[in-house]
Amino acid sequence: MIRFENIKKSFGKTIAVDGISFEIEPHEVFGLLGPNGAGKTTTVNMTVGLVKPDSGTVEFAGLGFPKNPKVRTKIGVAPQTLSLYDELSGQENLECFGKLYGLNSGKLQQRVAWSLDFVGLTERKDDRVKAYSGGMKRRLNLAVALVHNPDYLILDEPTVGVDPQSRNAIFENIERLKKNGCTIIYTTHYMEEAQRLCDRVGILDKGKLLALDTVDVLIKKHGGNSAIIIEKDDGEQKIETQNPIEEIIKLQKETKLSGFRLLNPSLETVFLNLTGRTLRD
Amino acid sequence: MKSIWILAIKDLRILLRDKSGFFFTFFYPILIAVFFGVIFSGSGGGSRPTKSALSVYVIDEDNTDISKKFVETLSKSEDLELTPISLEKAQEEVRLGNKAAYILIKKGYGKARENMFTSSSPAVEIGIDPARRAEAYLLTGLLLQYGAQDLQKAFTDRNLMRKQIKTSLRQLPKNESNTLSDFLSSMDTYLADTASSADNGSGGFKGFEPLKVEEKEIIRQRIGPPSSFAVTFPQGVMWGIIACITTFAVSLISERNKGTLTRLLTGPLKSYQILGSKALACFLTTISVSIFIMMIGVFVFGVKPASYLKLGIGLIIVSGSFVGLMMLLSVISKSERSASGIGWAVLMVFAMIGGGMLPLFFMPDWLKALSNISPIKWGILALEGAIWRDFTFSELLQPYLILTAFGLVTFIIGARLFRWSEQS
């Protein structure tokens, strides 16, 4: 479990994180959702000990604070910026970071091979990273975070600038890791990713944690009603309802529908309802 | 320590794969050293006479009228520039190379000139560095020329010649009424009888050695470099080090900008290990580059260090001292471009005033004084001291200490700024 207690961080006059508290349970995929500048990366940086909170604490239960090297060996980080050595091959990158995490030769080779296979780069392992595509680099970025078999995986916007194929591959990888029991912190501003991958989601805006729960509960609590868009000869009509099926059956009886669309609330609407803005504002 | 090695090896591997970086680090400084070596080969390489007159010291030990006249004759010569001085002082000055040679007019010079028929030739001694053969031959030739002129004068001066004959006759043993005695008596009579006749300048003798020139070797203490490459290769080493530290300063910023530094900082590493690895890789590269450049200088361009031990120590200290500057540059610069720009701008100025372009011994006094603020100057001095200045360890201590202090101060400031910037 990772425990965040009233953490605050300012950079000059800018408040990046404003007293947030929450806990991340073991083996869950926890999403931090928010627009750019919401405080996601600062929170992640405090989680891995890169940034010291002005006040409050981040603690890995049973292990200690993130500055502790023993804690760090349990954490794998895939930063938003591709953190790879372009002049080295994929395998050399993995070997270098694996050695830094204390893996010895037998275990190192085994983990490097596993990581390359996991992200589907075995065939390109000897190519220099500068020859990789953007998607391949993203996958290698993930592989480097996994090479030392961490208990906690922190993925900061892992799909930025990635083609749909590689994005899908990354999703599948995360789902496999989740099944293997890895605790994952996933930051994104794509709500469909959070919706697909995360067990629980915390919604951040302007450094404050606006809401935290499972996706279903968040939608139920803050998503508002579903909407049925009825297509008529003279245009469209929008009807909001808590029970869209019953409403459609009722409408079918009353009028002859030429067509309709159902709009269920999403995390986007949750964010809109909580902040009055969309995630991309 | 293992982590530091792992990261240092990674950095070296990356450097070796960067072809342009590798070229500018290892080969470009050699091109500079060779280029300037060829340029300076026409003007460097030890002190040379700048005037057509040969400047020498003169010591008149004989101090007779005849020796004084000879000194006067020499002084009037356009080929010689004489400075009177004591023998001891002359020997020291010639050893230091302040003048090419000295001429010692030995005791008995005047007497020998007077007794030319019975005693040995008048003698002078020249003290000169055996390496300066050209000057030695020139000086000997000039002395023989003026000695011969002196002799000619003696033969054409009837009074002097009679005096010489009388002196010689007096010195001949009385019981040996030999041919020479008869000849000299006859000669004296002849000269006395013809005293009133016009001097046609035809009286004289041939076959005498006019002057005996003895050469004394004064091994000169070297004050200039034996070759221009002995000057330009230490400069080349400094250029190599400049290229190295700029490359590594850029690489640390590159790690920060590319995010690999973030990944390293989130790993089980302390920031001192990350800095230590950079410093180690930078030091290994600078020392390799320095040794490589000096090996080219020694084996290809004939640079002969006076002391390989001192050169080795100098290379280690010089290479190590600039690692701190690399650290400082990498922290004060925000981008690779600014690191490269600031690095070259700062180091170019240091190189210009520190003897990286114009050799230190060519500099005017004001520039020599200004050069003291440049670590490049102390680096070059530490290397030149071992190569051709023939410094003792106590003389080398000054550049060693200054470089070590410079390295420590810049490293500490750089490391503190690095930690501060990472924490904030």
Strands A152-156 and A2-11, sheet pairing? unpaired
Same domain, yes or no, for A239 and A164? no
CB contact A99 to B (< 8 Å):
yes
Closest-CA residue in chain A for B273?
A100
The encoded tokens of residue A193 equal 């990713």
Q: Residue B259 region, left (φ>0) first, then alpha (ψ -120 to 50), else beta?
A: left
Nearest to B377 by CA among B346, B356, B348: B356
Q: Residue B140 is which amino acid?
A: T
Per-position pLDDT tens, chain B of length 424: 788 888 888 888 888 887 777 787 777 777 877 777 777 665 444 444 444 578 889 999 988 888 888 888 888 888 888 889 898 888 888 876 677 789 999 888 888 877 766 567 788 898 887 767 777 888 888 888 888 887 777 677 677 677 777 777 777 666 555 666 777 677 677 666 655 554 444 444 445 567 888 888 776 655 567 778 888 888 888 988 888 888 888 888 888 888 888 888 888 888 888 888 888 999 999 999 899 999 998 998 888 888 999 999 999 999 999 998 888 888 887 777 887 788 878 888 888 888 888 777 777 778 888 889 999 999 999 998 888 888 888 889 999 999 999 999 999 998 888 877 766 5
Same domain, yes or no, for A112 and A154? yes
Domain count, chain A: 2
- Is A41 a domain residue? yes
Closest-CA residue in chain B for A154?
B266
The encoded tokens of residue B365 equal 């006094």
Integer Cα distance of A252 and B413 in angstroms: 78
**ipTM here:** 0.80
- Which pLDDT band holds residue A169 (cuts at 50, 70, 90)? confident
Q: Residue B44 has what pLDDT?
A: 44
- Is A62 a domain residue? yes
Q: Residue B191 is which amino acid?
A: L
User: What is the per-residue pLDDT across B251-265, written as a single tens digit (0 to 9) for each?
Assistant: 888 888 888 888 888
- Is A186 a domain residue? yes
Average pLDDT of chain A, as a whole number: 87
Q: What share of chain A is helix, strand, coil (3-state, %, to 5)?
A: 40, 30, 35
Which of A165, A192, A219 is where one domain is finished? A219
Q: Residue A47 is which amino acid?
A: T
Chain B CB contacts of A50 below 8 Å: 262, 265-266, 422
- Which pLDDT band holds residue A98 (cuts at 50, 70, 90)? very high
Strands B80-84 and A200-205, sheet pairing? unpaired
Q: Domain of A73: which CATH number?
A: 3.40.50.300
User: What is the per-residue pLDDT across A198-248, written as a single tens digit (0 to 9) for each?
Assistant: 999 998 888 999 889 998 898 888 888 888 888 777 777 788 887 888 888
Chain A CB contacts of B17 below 8 Å: 87-88, 128
Extended beta strands in chain A, E state? 2-11, 14-24, 29-33, 55-60, 75-78, 152-156, 183-188, 200-205, 208-214, 226-232, 235-241, 259-263
Residues forming beta bridges with residue A201, ordered by sequence position: A31, A213
Same domain, yes or no, for A7 and A53? yes
Residue with tokens 């067990």, as numbered in its chain: A199
Chain B CB contacts of A144 below 8 Å: 263
CB contact A114 to B (< 8 Å):
no
Same domain, yes or no, for A238 and A192? no
Integer Cα distance of A121 and A133 in angstroms: 11
Q: What's the domain range around A114?
A: 2-219
A&B contacts, CB < 8 Å: 68
Integer Cα distance of A168 and A162 in angstroms: 9
- Looking at CA atoms only, how far is residue B317 from chain A in angstroms? 30
Q: Residue B40 has what pLDDT?
A: 66
Same domain, yes or no, for A103 and A16? yes
Nearest to B164 by CA among B175, B174, B153: B153
- Is A277 a domain residue? no
Number of Cβ within a 10 Å radius of residue B346: 16
B interface with A, Cβ–Cβ below 8 Å = 2-3, 6-7, 10, 13-14, 17-18, 258-260, 262-270, 422-423
Q: Residue B41 has what pLDDT?
A: 62
- Is A271 a domain residue? no
Contact criterion met (CB below 8 Å) for B48 and B280: no
Q: Is B310 helix (H, G, I), strand (E, B) or coil?
A: helix
Q: What is the dihedral sign for C-alpha A118, A121, A126, A132?
A: negative
CB contact A87 to B (< 8 Å):
yes
Q: Residue A7 has what pLDDT?
A: 92
Asked if B6 and A79 come within 8 Å (Cβ–Cβ), the reply is: no
Which strands make up the sheet holding B54-60, listed edge to edge?
A: B80-84, B54-60, B101-105, B123-128, B212-217
Same domain, yes or no, for A61 and A136? yes
Strands A29-33 and A2-11, sheet pairing? unpaired
pTM for this predicted structure: 0.66
H/E element, B101: strand B101-105
Same domain, yes or no, for A123 and A179? yes
Over 90: is that where the pLDDT of A94 sits? Answer: yes
Asked if A72 and B262 come within 8 Å (Cβ–Cβ), the reply is: no
Integer Cα distance of B95 and B217 in angstroms: 10
The encoded tokens of residue B405 equal 């202090």
- Is A115 a domain residue? yes
Asked if A83 and B263 come within 8 Å (Cβ–Cβ), the reply is: yes
Which pairs with CB-CB distance under 8 Å and at least 24 residues apart come from B66-70? B66/B109, B66/B110, B66/B113, B66/B114, B67/B105, B67/B109, B67/B110, B69/B150, B70/B105, B70/B109, B70/B146, B70/B147, B70/B150
Same domain, yes or no, for A199 and A146? yes
Same domain, yes or no, for A143 and A172? yes
H/E element, B137: helix B133-156
Same domain, yes or no, for A84 and A202? yes
The encoded tokens of residue B412 equal 């500490």
Integer Cα distance of B136 and B101 in angstroms: 8
Integer Cα distance of B226 and B37 in angstroms: 12
Which of A188, A219, A250 is where one domain is finished? A219
DSSP B53-92: SEEEEEEESS-SHHHHHHHHHHHH-SSEEEEE--HHHHHH
Residues forming beta bridges with residue B102, ordered by sequence position: B57, B127
- Is A269 a domain residue? no
Q: Residue A281 has what pLDDT?
A: 54
Q: Is A74 helix (H, G, I), strand (E, B) or coil?
A: coil
Same domain, yes or no, for A215 and A229? no
Contact criterion met (CB below 8 Å) for B128 and B101: yes
Same domain, yes or no, for A188 and A253? no
Contact criterion met (CB below 8 Å) for A13 and A31: no
- Is A37 a domain residue? yes
